[in-house]
Structure 1
Amino acid sequence: MSVETVKEYFKSIRFRIWLSFVVFSLGTVALMLFFQLFFTPVFYSLSKTNEYKSCADAIKMWIGSEDWNPYSIDSVNGLRNRIVKLAQSNQLDIIINLPDVNNGTIYASKSGGNDLLVKEVGDNIKSALEEAKDNTIITKTDDNDNDAEGIILATFAKKNDKVLAYIFIFGYTEPIGTTLNIINALSFICSNVVLVAACIISIMISSHIANPLVKISRNVDRLITGDFHMEIRKTEYDEIATLTKNLNAASEEINKTEALRKDLMANVSHDLRTPLTMIKAYAEMIRDLSGNNPEKREKHLQVIIDEADRLTLLVSDILNLSKLESGVMPIERSGFDFSEVLKGIISRFSLLDDMKDYQVRLEAEDGISVNADQQKIEQVVYNLVNNAINYIGDDKLVTVRLFRKNSGTARFEVADRGIGIPAEQLPYIWDRYYKIDRSENYKRSVKGTGLGLSIVKGILTSHGFLFGCDSILGEGSVFWFEFDIFGSQQGKIPKRKEGRSSENTGL
């Protein structure tokens, strides 16, 4: 394994996840041991102190009650019984000194520290209680005879500023050193087990998370090299699943774009090569054969002119489409009578009625105006009508309609009764050079450039008009767009919607 490979591994997400998990586990174990070693004795001492305070509060409550009478034998015996039970249950030595009663000392022992407690109890402690916080003194002391540490709590019960009793509580803090050593040893063993388990689990988790990302990275490398046919398997992690879904979608779109690019290049090459071939062939025929024959020469020259016009149209369409898609072609809006403009356009198609038995019929309501770029809207009309003629039905009829949908909106339609378009292919008809089918019935007309509908889409999109195509297979198609009637106060501006396609029950 090379040094570079090791460096790359240390930078990988798999190693980083593993290291983060191990460091977190190690930090957690270290923090637990730290608290155990340094805070357990302190916590134990505080717990014992609170235990003594609770016992002292209970004794104060008993002495401060209305039933307490230091001169009553029954009352004193009742207090003594309670103190004995309290001392036995908590392993304590308790002394209660009644200042108003001669030899008024109540004593209860369970811990065995009688002598030590007597030594510590003195007038100095009693006098210091008045100045102590909460009238309570807590002190630690060592019992050398028993080799143990003890805690003494001194306080008093008071009522109406009169001291009723002095309370002294003593108890040993049981040696916990041995217990701590055992606990520390067990904790060390458990910590090692936890760290080993953390390492194993972190390796599994890091691999589980990193493997999909590694596969995604490898597939992206394939994308870079031009292999767009990939399928990344989904995972249970939402973020990675979303990334996988987006990359799969991007791969599909790139694949479609690549296929479209190849198809575009093939079609453009064909459309350029065909007229150039024709121009060259007829130019050579004029040079070699028909140069001295005016009739043949005129016929051959006309072919050259037609093919040159076809080249000009193709180049013009490509340039216009590029400008529309890049947004550099300006839209110069102005209000004009669309009904009148449409009549002039359709009248120019009358030549087809005579030459090829085509009929372009206009059904337009008068007085419908639009605020748009007139030259570009005329191009839309030309492209839609020419497209309908290319795929015309046996009746040789193309119907152009313009009518009001409501008081503020108008609709333009170009309908043919041709073979129609399959529903699943409707969303793609606006793509440049898109071919519905390779069968003879669906071939694009040789006079078209294959860019007409793409240009229509670009112009209508830049105007913000609704547009689409409704088609039924075997019955025909209706291409349409909708717009606000210019000057109308009630029409709403339609939202832009590109390429809306739907099946309809009639044309």
Structure 2
Amino acid sequence: MTQEHKTQKKDHSKFFIDFKSIRFKYWLSFIGFATILLLILWLLQIVFLNQFYESMKVREIEKIGYSLTKQYNSKHFKQTVLLTAFTKGIDISIVNEDRYITFPKSDNNVFSQPKSLPREYFNQYFAKLDKKTRPSKIFTQSFLGSDEIQLSYSSILGEKNGKIEYLLMTTPLEPVESTIDILKNQLIIISGLSLALALVLSFFMSNHLAKPLVRMAKSAKKLGDGHFDVEFTKGDYTEADELADTLNHATDELSKTLEMRKDLIANVSHDLKTPLTVIKSYGEMIRDISGDNPELRKEHVNTIIQEADNLTLLVNDLLDLSKVESELSHLQKYPLDLEKLARSVLNRFKMMEQYNGYHFDLEVKGTVVILADESKMRQVLYNFIANAVNYAGLDKQVLIKITETGDQVLCQVIDHGKGIPEDQQKYIWDRYYRVQKNHSRFIVGTGLGLFIVKSILDLHDFNYGVESKVNEGSCFYFKAPVFKDIKK
């Protein structure tokens, strides 16, 4: 597909909605939220209005009936009844057990019977009331055979002049159909306006919320294309800012890693090329010059073997790095005598003492047995000593001190080389990092040794560090608990 075809396809896609885009998801969420709110409003105002209205009237009349019943024996009871009937728009009557209406004494009450209630009505209102089990009841019924519905409340008030008196309250349940029609028309208009407003507002809000993420996605594409100077700009909310900070940090780390890998390739290329050149040269010398001279041939063969060992060390470093990064290394802890371990490691440097003028001193004081993985700690000691050889001073002196200090064993590897500037000391544990590019030729270096040491010591949970001064030398160390089972 040509670039022109790709561009046409990209422009053509602008006319379609991306249903997976965060803009569409936000927009859909806002519309859904607005729709749910309108649906709830319709249910409350239209569908459940009758039930809501009736339940409100029931609660109101029950509350009034309970209050009046409690005030039955008060001095101003009748005034309270009249005031309640007037303010609440409720018909209130007091009827005794003989069916006579004792209050109000008026011919204009709702039953058209000024003094007594028909027995059927009396039984309907009061027959099943009981002071203990059922002191009151409330129900709805048709009003005198009409379509109008009324709500009735009856209760036992108490005794007066030896006769039981009852409270009777009735109020019509007004039809709300006309109100519902009015509300329905209003809600249609409100719903239309609300949905239209929600569509517009949600579109702009979704764009606003998605804008930082879309911007970061574009920056991420640039990063994927190899533009490591890209910067992820912050948005208008905390989460976007945190994401931008995280991506910027990841970009910085990625840039550092790529730069370090370039250095690694350069270092490995140099460290591979030099011993291979030496091996080839000495092989040709054996073939052409020293083949018949046993002593000279032996010297040349030893040089080839030494350079092959250097190559092996380089490959081992790379393999160790691979194990550390893939977390394939597992500790097998056993009591480990650091003195014996140090002497074993120093045997690998004897050739450097014999042929290159290096001198290694070992000082041991106290109990120096720890609980650790022998193969891993051998690697730590070897890398510390090899690092000291790489950067040793002109005296070519390397001191290994292993000392018991209380409950700890302190292991130090000291050289008298150029030292490490203070501002670089925090970087020496990073992978691929080397303070000097022109390190000694006698030990191959990839910049991985101290990173591997750091990983192993972290795995053991041992403390470690470096003390160094420029032109005075360096002291690399680690501390480990003494193996207590051998303490007396």
TM-score, L = length of structure 1: 0.73
Counterpart secondary structure, 2:36: helix
Q: 1:22 aligns with which of 31, 52, 57?
A: 31
Please name the residue that 2:44 is paired with: 35
Amino acid at match of 2:83: K
Counterpart secondary structure, 1:10: coil
Task: Indicate if the aligned counterparts of 1:275 and 1:310 stay in contact, CA closer than 8 A.
Answer: yes
* Structure 1, unaligned runs of 5 or more: 68-77, 492-507
Amino acid at match of 1:468: G
Please name the residue that 2:5 is paired with: none
* Structure 2, unaligned runs of 5 or more: 1-9
Task: Indicate if the aligned counterparts of 1:466 and 1:482 stay in contact, CA closer than 8 A.
Answer: yes
Q: CA deviation at 1:386?
A: 3.8
Please name the residue that 1:65 is paired with: 73
Q: Does 2:315 correspond to 1:315?
A: no
Amino acid at match of 1:10: F
Please name the residue that 1:70 is paired with: none
Distance 1:200 1:121, change over 3 A: farther
Q: Deviations over 1:269-315 (max 9, x none)?
A: 2222233334445666787xx649989x9879956853563243223
Q: Deviations over 1:386-444 (max 9, x none)?
A: 432332345654332221111x4221211223332133432432445422255xxxx21
Counterpart secondary structure, 1:469: strand
Amino acid at match of 2:402: L
Please name the residue that 1:125 is paired with: 121
Task: Indicate if the aligned counterparts of 2:431 and 2:451 stay in contact, CA closer than 8 A.
Answer: yes
Q: 1:87 aligns with which of 85, 88, 93?
A: 85
Q: CA deviation at 1:153?
A: 4.5
Please name the residue that 1:214 is paired with: 214
Amino acid at match of 1:15: F
Please name the residue that 1:45 is paired with: 54
Distance 1:434 1:185, change over 3 A: same
Q: Deviations over 1:245-271 (max 9, x none)?
A: 443333333333322222222221222
Counterpart secondary structure, 1:435: coil
Amino acid at match of 1:90: K
Task: Indicate if the aligned counterparts of 1:371 and 1:486 stay in contact, CA closer than 8 A.
Answer: yes
Q: CA deviation at 1:368?
A: 3.6
Distance 1:122 1:189, change over 3 A: same
Distance 1:307 1:92, change over 3 A: same
After TM superposition, the structure 1 stretch with the greater mean CA deviation from structure 2, 335-344 or 209-218, is 335-344
What is the correspondence of 1:168-247 to structure 2 with a 5 Å cutoff? 168-174=168-174, 176-235=176-235, 237=237, 239-247=239-247
TM-score, L = length of structure 2: 0.75
Q: CA deviation at 1:196?
A: 3.2
Q: CA deviation at 1:36?
A: 1.0
Task: Indicate if the aligned counterparts of 2:138 and 2:151 stay in contact, CA closer than 8 A.
Answer: no
Distance 1:404 1:356, change over 3 A: same
Amino acid at match of 1:389: V
What is the correspondence of 1:332-411 to structure 2 with a 5 Å cutoff? 338-339=338-339, 342=342, 359-365=359-365, 368-370=368-370, 380-393=380-393, 397-406=397-406, 408-411=407-410
Q: CA deviation at 1:469?
A: 1.7
Counterpart secondary structure, 1:42: helix
Q: 2:22 aligns with which of 13, 23, 35?
A: 13
Q: Does 2:476 correspond to 1:479?
A: yes
Q: CA deviation at 1:186?
A: 3.5
Q: CA deviation at 1:319?
A: 2.6
Please name the residue that 1:445 is paired with: 440
Q: CA deviation at 1:47?
A: 3.3
Counterpart secondary structure, 1:11: coil
Amino acid at match of 2:38: V
Q: Distance in 2 between matches of 1:405 and 1:433?
A: 33
Q: Distance in 2 between matches of 1:80 and 1:166?
A: 14
Q: CA deviation at 1:31?
A: 1.7
Counterpart secondary structure, 1:436: coil
